[in-house]
C-alpha cells in the first residue's frame, strides 16, 4: 500500500474515533490493530494529522474497489466498536459510502481550514452559483415537507430565500437593535448596511461570497445546484506550543438534477442511508418560532461573516476623528480615553511621519539626547493639547511623561488585542522593534486617515505635522 493511502486511512480512523468526543478501550484497541495491519508508521500517523478529510477520501477513491470495500469495512467496524454509531460517525460513514460508490460524479467532499474546533450543528443547505428557477420553485412548493423530514432527524434545512424573508418579517428596529447589541462598536451607517445585507442575501451571494471566498473553495464559484451537508470537523494540531490548533470543516455536496421532486428525493435517500447507519435515534421535531433572531449554529456563522464584511470594509484601516475624539480600526469604533487616544496618535506619528519609523524609548538602556527630548516633547504635548482634558504646557519635560506613556502603551495593547484578530494584530499593535529600542505601529500609511476641522486627509498629510518639523 502506498504512503499517501496509509495516511488517508490514519486520518479517517482518527476522525471516526474522535467524532463522538469519547474514546473507549475498544476503539483504541481497534486503532492499534488497524495501524499494525496496514503497517502505518509513526511518521505517517503524524503526517495524517495535517491531511484534510477531502484529500484522504480522494486518495482512497483511487484504490481498487476491493481495497475500498476492505477499508470501508474496517472503518465501519471502528464506528461500531463501542456498539453505538452516533450522528458524526454516521455522517462520515455516509459520506464514504456515497463518494466511494459514486459513478456519476454526483457526490463531492470538501474541506476548509478554519479556526475554532466546535462541531457545528447539523444542517442541509441548498446552494447554487447561478439561479436555477425550476429547482427553486420546487423547494418553495415542498419546503415544509423537506424541512420537517430533516428536522425529524435534527438536521436544519437552510434555504437562503426563506432565511432572508424571515429577517424581512422581523421588526426593523428589533433587528437593528440586535445587530447593535452583537457589535456595539458598529456605526449607525454600518448597522443599516448590515440590515440591508441580511434582508437581501441570496443563495448565489452566499455560495460565491461565503463558500467560495471565505472558505477558500474555488469549486463553489461555479457549482451546479446542490445540497450541502456539514459532516463535522478534523483537528489539525499546532506546530508550536504557543500556537492554537486549527480545524478542517468538512462538507458533502450532492448535485441536483432537473428532475421532478429532485430535492425531496435526494433528501429522502440521504435520510434513509443516515437512518440505516445510526444506532441511537435522535429524532424529534424542534420548535421553530417566528419573528425571533436565532444566534447559533449556521445563523451565527452567517451573521458573523456579514458583520466582518462590514467592519472590514477597509482592510487594515484606521480612521481618527479629532472633532469627535473617536477612532475606528477596520470600521469598528475603539473605546479609548482622551489620554490613550493622544498616545496612540503620538505612536502613529512617530511610526508613519518620521525617518525614525517609531517612537524611541527613553530609559537606562536608551538614553535620549537633549535634541530628541525637545523634539519628542514638542510633538507629544501638541498632540495632547488637541484634547482639552489634557492641559499640558510646553514647559513640561517630555521625560516626565515617559513612565505614563509606557503605562498607556500597555493599556493600548490590551485594548487592541481584544478587538483585532490575531493574524491582523501586527498592523495596529504598538510592537517593540527588533532591537527593543522603539515602539512601532506597522500599518501602511495609506490606510490611516484623519478627520479634522478642515476636512479629511491621509494621516501623513495632516497640516499640524508640518508645524512640528
Kindly tell me if the per-residue pLDDT of 362 is higher than 70: yes
Q: What is the pLDDT of residues 71-95, one digit of tens each?
A: 999 888 888 888 888 888 899 999 9
Q: What is the pLDDT of residues 413-436, one digit of tens each?
A: 888 887 776 666 777 888 887 678
The residue ranking higher by pLDDT, 393 or 236, is 236
- Tally Cβ neighbours within 10 Å of residue 69: 13
Q: Residue 181 burial by CB count (10 A; 0-12/13-18/19+): exposed, middle or buried?
A: exposed
- Cite the beta strand spans of 246-373 per DSSP E: 246-255, 318-321, 326-329, 332-334, 359-360
Helix (H) or strand (E) segment spanning residue 414: helix 398-417
- Cite the beta strand spans of 48-122 per DSSP E: 107-114
Q: Quick check: helix, strand or coil at residue 183? A: coil
How distant, in Å, are the alpha carbons of 159, 216, 223, 225, 289 from that of 254?
A: 15, 19, 11, 9, 29
Kindly tell me if the per-residue pLDDT of 392 is higher than 60: no
- Mean of pLDDT over the chain: 83
Average pLDDT over residues 153-163: 92
Q: Residue 135 burial by CB count (10 A; 0-12/13-18/19+): exposed, middle or buried?
A: buried
Please say whether the beta carbons of 169 and 176 come within 8 A.
Answer: no
Kindly tell me if the per-residue pLDDT of 145 is higher than 80: yes
Please report which confidence band the pLDDT of residue 313 belongs to, taking 50, 70 and 90 as the band edges: very low
Please say whether the beta carbons of 83 and 22 come within 8 A.
Answer: no
Cα distance between residue 32 and residue 28, in whole Å: 6
Q: What is the pLDDT of residues 90-140, one digit of tens each?
A: 999 999 999 998 888 899 998 887 765 566 678 999 999 889 999 999 999
Q: Where are the domains of the chain?
A: 3-82, 107-310, 318-467
Residue written as grid cell 452567517: 302
Q: Quick check: helix, strand or coil at residue 284? A: strand
Percent over 70 (pLDDT), the chain: 85
Average pLDDT over residues 212-227: 77
Kindly tell me if the per-residue pLDDT of 240 is higher than 50: yes
Kindly tell me if the per-residue pLDDT of 43 is higher than 80: yes
Angle value at C-alpha 396, between 395 and 400, nearest 5 degrees? 160
How distant, in Å, are the alpha carbons of 147, 284, 294, 440 from that of 288?
A: 11, 12, 10, 52
What's the pLDDT score for residue 255? 95
Q: Residue 442 burial by CB count (10 A; 0-12/13-18/19+): exposed, middle or buried?
A: middle
The residue ranking higher by pLDDT, 372 or 20, is 372
DSSP strand pairing (123-127 vs 156-158): parallel
Q: What is the pLDDT of residues 7-21, one digit of tens each?
A: 999 999 888 888 776
Phi, psi torsion values for 124, nearest 5 degrees: -120, 130
Kindly tell me if the per-residue pLDDT of 302 is higher than 80: no
What's the pLDDT score for residue 314? 44
Average pLDDT over residues 322-348: 87
The model carries a pTM of 0.65
Percent over 90 (pLDDT), the chain: 26
Amino acid at each position: 500500500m502506498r504512503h499517501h493511502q496509509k495516511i488517508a486511512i490514519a486520518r479517517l480512523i482518527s476522525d471516526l474515533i474522535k467524532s463522538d468526543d469519547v474514546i473507549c478501550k475498544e476503539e483504541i484497541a481497534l486503532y492499534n490493530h488497524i495501524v499494525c495491519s496496514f503497517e502505518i508508521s509513526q511518521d505517517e500517523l503524524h503526517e495524517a494529522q495535517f491531511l484534510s478529510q477531502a484529500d484522504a477520501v480522494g486518495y482512497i477513491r483511487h484504490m481498487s474497489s476491493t481495497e475500498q470495500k476492505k477499508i470501508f469495512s474496517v472503518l465501519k467496524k471502528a464506528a461500531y466498536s463501542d456498539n453505538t454509531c452516533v450522528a458524526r460517525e454516521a455522517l462520515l460513514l455516509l459520506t464514504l459510502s456515497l463518494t466511494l460508490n459514486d459513478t456519476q460524479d454526483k457526490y463531492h467532499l470538501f474541506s476548509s481550514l478554519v479556526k475554532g474546533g466546535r462541531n457545528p450543528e447539523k444542517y442541509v443547505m441548498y446552494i447554487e452559483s447561478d439561479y436555477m428557477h425550476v429547482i427553486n420553485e420546487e423547494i418553495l412548493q415542498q419546503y415544509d415537507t423537506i424541512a420537517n423530514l430533516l428536522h425529524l432527524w435534527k438536521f436544519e434545512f437552510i434555504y437562503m430565500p426563506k432565511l432572508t424573508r424571515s429577517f424581512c418579517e422581523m421588526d426593523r428596529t428589533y433587528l437593528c437593535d440586535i445587530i447593535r447589541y452583537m457589535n456595539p462598536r458598529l456605526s449607525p451607517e454600518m448597522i443599516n448596511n448590515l440590515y440591508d445585507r441580511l434582508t437581501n442575501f441570496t443563495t448565489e451571494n452566499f455560495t460565491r461570497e461565503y463558500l467560495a471566498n471565505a472558505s477558500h473553495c474555488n469549486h463553489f464559484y461555479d457549482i451546479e445546484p446542490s445540497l450541502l451537508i456539514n459532516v463535522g470537523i478534523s483537528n489539525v494540531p499546532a506546530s508550536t506550543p504557543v500556537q492554537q490548533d486549527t480545524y478542517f470543516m468538512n462538507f458533502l455536496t450532492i448535485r441536483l438534477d432537473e428532475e421532478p421532486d429532485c430535492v425531496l428525493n435526494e433528501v429522502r435517500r440521504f435520510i434513509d442511508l443516515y437512518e440505516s447507519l445510526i444506532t441511537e435515534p435522535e429524532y424529534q421535531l424542534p420548535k421553530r418560532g417566528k419573528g425571533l433572531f436565532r444566534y447559533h449554529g449556521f445563523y451565527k456563522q452567517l451573521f458573523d461573516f456579514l458583520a466582518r464584511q462590514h467592519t472590514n470594509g477597509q482592510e487594515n484601516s484606521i480612521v481618527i476623528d479629532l472633532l469627535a475624539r473617536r477612532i475606528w480600526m477596520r470600521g469598528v469604533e475603539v473605546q479609548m480615553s482622551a489620554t490613550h487616544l493622544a498616545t496612540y496618535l503620538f505612536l502613529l506619528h512617530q511610526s508613519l511621519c518620521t525617518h525614525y519609523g517609531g517612537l524611541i524609548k527613553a530609559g537606562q538602556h536608551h538614553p535620549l539626547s537633549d535634541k530628541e527630548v525637545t523634539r519628542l516633547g514638542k510633538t507629544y504635548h501638541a498632540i495632547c493639547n488637541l484634547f482639552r482634558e489634557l492641559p499640558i504646557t510646553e514647559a513640561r519635560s517630555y521625560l516626565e511623561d515617559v513612565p505614563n506613556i509606557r503605562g498607556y502603551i500597555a493599556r493600548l495593547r490590551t485594548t487592541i488585542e481584544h478587538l483585532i484578530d490575531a493574524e491582523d494584530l501586527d498592523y495596529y499593535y504598538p510592537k517593540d522593534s527588533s532591537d527593543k529600542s522603539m515602539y512601532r505601529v506597522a500599518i501602511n500609511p495609506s490606510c490611516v486617515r484623519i478627520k479634522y476641522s478642515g476636512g479629511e486627509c491621509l494621516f501623513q498629510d495632516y497640516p499640524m505635522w508640518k508645524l512640528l518639523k
